[in-house]
Amino acid sequence: MEHPREEPRLPEPRGPLSTAVQEYLRGSGPLPAPGPVADAPVYGDDLQLALYLCYELHYRGFEGVAPDLEWDPELLRTRAALEDRFLAALRADATRHERLDDALAEILVEPVEATGVSHFLRDKGELWQLREYAAQRSLYHLKEADPHAWVLPRLRGRAKAAMAAVEFDEYGGGRADRVHARLFADLMTDLGLDTTYGRYLDAACAELLVTVNLMSLFGLHRSLRGALVGHFATVEITSSPGSRRLAEAMRRTGAGPAAEHFYDEHVEADAVHEQVVRHEVIGGLLEDEPHLAPDIAFGVDATVFVEDRLGERLLADWQAGRSSLREPLEPA
């Protein structure tokens, strides 16, 4: 019996940085010099793809790439240089709140005249736009909850117990058929998309890569555990109403029962998770380490910042009648 390929293929490079990292992973070239790293647009395709390549070695890796490269010292030095630029830009561009309470208060209440991606898809989105949205989001949702699991060894007491409880739900409560990554794959099947892990990396825009890299950046650094909790809180707090709108979009367009179910599941689950994360994960972490409050606020701000950039990109493309992808999807 032939088993499906588990490791994704290396993507097409998008510039000198991602080309050099890819060639190094193949064993056929040196890593990029400091100059190109310093000169590349920090939120651009080339730097973000190079960083994504480095991060993905800590998840499923790539076909034909040696697993031991995950801890290659030279590659880690390059990753650190890319991360330094990314983190510095986020601290400069995204930081908006000095107080955690203010950061949380802003995301707990939706604007009356909100016009985000989920509103657009609910009200006027077409099936091709829902397919593009799912293809882009698959870079995270096919490993949903994995970046946040990195924080578990870095918490203790109430925060650890509550975070583990939420992650247990994300992983299906012990049932493989209810793992959220599996539910998203079922959604993709309804939409006529390929469920292979990493399949749409070449198609994804830079703004999407930024959102996924943010999770890995926060998750892989113990010093950023507060920011990771802030990211997770933002996702859980904003997920339920957004998921309700996306479920309505799936129903309106006849996307299919699994497509509807994925978002229906998140309406209910994330409404509960929001309370647990706010009161137990954040509350427990601040009880143990009150000095991390500004880091949690930064995590909230950074998440809102990168998600807003992605939303603006998607809406600009769709409202102009053009694809948001770098290459077209296969027919449904």
Q: Which of 93, 120, 137 is the last residue of a domain?
A: 93
How much is the average pLDDT of 294-319?
98
pLDDT-based confidence at 3, cuts 50/70/90? very low
The residue range of the domain holding 52 is 16-93
The DSSP string of 149-213 is HTTGGG--HHHHHHHHHHHHHHTGGG-GGG-HHHHHHHHHHHTT---STTTTTTT--HHHHHHHH
Distance CA 256, CA 279 (A): 36
Residues 124 and 200 in one domain: yes
Residues 206-216 pLDDT 10s = 999 999 999 99
CB-CB contact of 98 with 91 (8 Å): no
Residues 38-93 pLDDT 10s = 999 999 999 999 999 999 999 999 999 999 999 999 999 999 999 999 999 999 99
User: Residue 170: inside a domain, yes or no?
Assistant: yes
Is residue 241 within a helix (H) or strand (E), and if so which, with residue range?
helix 225-253
Residue type, 210: V
pLDDT-based confidence at 1, cuts 50/70/90? very low
pLDDT at 64: 96
User: Residue 176: inside a domain, yes or no?
Assistant: yes
User: Residue 210: inside a domain, yes or no?
Assistant: yes
pTM of structure? 0.96
Residues 179 and 245 in one domain: yes
